[in-house]
Amino acid sequence: MDDPFEKEQNLLRARIISRMETLNESMATMNKNLQEINRKNLEIENVTRMWSNYMRYSDQFSKVNETPSGQTRAREQEEQ
């Protein structure tokens, strides 16, 4: 004797499997997009680090080149 609910259970299983396949595809797309976002964030982080280093070294350079009067040596030479 056949189970009266077997057909309905098989339909439910098929729907669940189909939805899980769709979910897996969506998760794969999301992971791909997150990898791209992480790559771009890394690029931004590198540019930020380079800019910070540039600003730090340019500040140090300007402090080294300052004269007691507060002007830089280049400006002082231009005025002479």
Question: Which amino acid would we find at residue 39?
Answer: R
| Cα 51 off chain centre by | 17
The tens place of each residue's pLDDT in the chain, 80 residues long, gives 578 899 999 999 999 999 999 999 999 999 999 999 999 999 999 999 999 999 888 877 777 666 656 555 555 555 55
Rounded Cα gap, residues 27 and 33, in angstroms: 10
Position of tokens 């976002």? 37
pTM reported for the whole predicted model = 0.56
Is residue 70 left, alpha or beta, with left meaning phi > 0 and alpha meaning psi from -120 to 50? Answer: left
